Amino acid sequence: MAKKAETVDMVDRFAEFKELKNIDKTTMISVLEESFRSVLAKQFGSDDNLDVIMNPDTGDCEIYQNLEIVPDGEVTDPVRQISLSDARNNPDFPDPDAEVGEEYSKKIDFAKFGRRAILNLRQTLSSKILDLQKDAIYNKFKELEGQLVTAEVTQLFKREVLLLDDDKNEFILPREHQIPTDIYKKGEQVRAVIESVENKNNNPKIYVSRTSENFLRRLFEQEVPEINDGLITIKAVARIPGERAKIAVESYDDRIDPVGACVGVQGGRIRGIVRELRNENIDVIPFTTNPQLFIQRALSPAKITSIRLNEEDKSAEVFLRPEEVSLAIGKGGLNIKLATMLTGYNIDVYRDLDNEEEDIYIDDFADEIEPWIIESLKDMGCATAKSVLRTPREKIIEDADLEESTVDEVLRIIRAEFDE
């Protein structure tokens, strides 16, 4: 009876781990069987002739030792043999029909091995449970890398902050993954993304980050239902944590304005994200596969006059009016650095000094040129009248996908403006 109570206790302890650490009952029973076998192997020298049968419903454990029946007086290995008389007259499980050469299954009462064997079982089981628990934690969170978590600050160190979630899982937030203006207090809730999960020496450690691009992505997914539903996709993200970020979004539904949806009514959606990022300024721009237009949007609020691309080395020469250069570069070079990160092009800006005082933004011709034509010209990097005139006629026809007659009319309108 003591054995059964001990076994049931072991299974009950496993059930607790199932609730806390997501260890399924089948695995628990398997580990319990392994633990019994490990201790039995020490008792008998081997477990290869032992059957350990676990009942997953009741927690009962039955152990049988399979022995060869030999003539009386010829038992040379008690671990593997039993005499004919003992097999026929066993007080617990007699087999009157037993014969020499047959196999006899002797039931083992584990409790009779004494307290030391039970203590060894407990220690073996605890060790296996700990290993199983560590494996479960590692496997669970390895699959969650890049996902958002919320946890409570429990300890503050110079190089890291320790966090604990509701399931008592521990996260490490290193100093280099903290936003520079972050200030933490014990007991406060902190959001971050799982950056990496390591398992050196079977000791899983979960590292989280608040500076990762994925952190910004997950915040937008949480705040903008259209992103979570797949109607809007985040195509690119660039961040300088605590300072500024740019995010390019695309809508799969023409009825949805991706930028407007991300910003929200009166900035309601993005305001919470900015607050979470310690007032990090966020520029949301519409994504496009047109590299010239994408660079132009990425350098906003600066207005570009023209762009020259080199696809081989992924570089771009951007020309602007002198007063626009500082806007393109941004305070401390943040704007151009983020635009480079976002677009993947190495961007250099130049002052456009070619008759700058006479140049006119192409938008100013809206009363004479159709808006869709103006957008086509801007998409190919021609944002001013001079940049259009400097571009070969054939290139405009090809890149802007316009009819020859349309291009000729546009050139006539622009030239007329300067002739006047």
Q: Which domain holds residue 77?
A: 2-139
Instruction: Determine the pLDDT at residue 62.
Output: 82
Q: Mean pLDDT in the chain?
A: 86
**pLDDT score of 183 more than 80:** yes
| Same domain, yes or no: 39 and 133 | yes
Domain boundary (254, 287, 320) is at 287
Q: Which residue has the higher pLDDT, 351 or 13?
A: 351
Number of domains in the chain: 4
| Same domain, yes or no: 19 and 121 | yes
| Same domain, yes or no: 60 and 184 | no
Instruction: Determine the pLDDT at residue 9.
Output: 53
pLDDT category at 27 given cuts 50, 70, 90 is confident
pLDDT category at 243 given cuts 50, 70, 90 is very high
Domain boundary (108, 139, 170) is at 139
Instruction: Determine the pLDDT at residue 274.
Output: 94
Say if 302 falls within a structural domain.
no
Domain boundary (235, 261, 287) is at 287
Say if 116 falls within a structural domain.
yes
Instruction: Determine the pLDDT at residue 354.
Output: 58
**pLDDT score of 79 more than 50:** yes
Angle at CA of residue 237, ends 158 and 175, nearest 5° = 5
Instruction: Determine the pLDDT at residue 95.
Output: 87
| Same domain, yes or no: 240 and 164 | no
Question: Lowest-pLDDT range, 16-30, 184-198, 313-327, 337-351?
Answer: 16-30
Question: Lowest-pLDDT range, 142-146, 157-161, 330-334, 416-420?
Answer: 416-420
Say if 349 falls within a structural domain.
no
Whole-number percent of the chain with pLDDT over 90: 42
Averaged pLDDT for residues 143-162? 95
Say if 276 falls within a structural domain.
yes
Q: How far apart are CA 321 and CA 299, in angstroms?
A: 14
| Same domain, yes or no: 60 and 122 | yes
What's the CATH number where 378 sits?
1.10.150.20
Q: How far apart are CA 179 and CA 215, in angstroms?
A: 11
What's the CATH number where 206 sits?
2.40.50.140
Say if 336 falls within a structural domain.
no
pTM for this one? 0.67
Indicate the helix (H) or strand (E) that contains 195.
Answer: strand 189-198
| Same domain, yes or no: 165 and 236 | no
Convert the pLDDT of each residue in 100-132 to its tens digit.
Answer: 999 988 888 777 777 777 787 778 777 877 888
Say if 365 falls within a structural domain.
yes
**Strands 170-174 and 148-156, sheet pairing:** unpaired
pLDDT category at 7 given cuts 50, 70, 90 is very low
| Same domain, yes or no: 126 and 163 | no
Query: For 288-328, what is the HEC assignment?
Result: CCCHHHHHHHHCCCCCEEEEEEECCCCEEEEEECHHHHHHH
What's the CATH number where 52 sits?
3.30.1480.10
| Same domain, yes or no: 120 and 32 | yes
pLDDT category at 367 given cuts 50, 70, 90 is confident
| Same domain, yes or no: 196 and 219 | no
| Same domain, yes or no: 276 and 370 | no
Say if 179 falls within a structural domain.
yes
Q: Return the axis-axis angle of helices 2-21 and 115-142, rounded to nearest 10°.
A: 20
Say if 197 falls within a structural domain.
yes
| Same domain, yes or no: 100 and 203 | no
| Same domain, yes or no: 361 and 398 | yes
Whole-number percent of the chain with pLDDT over 70: 91
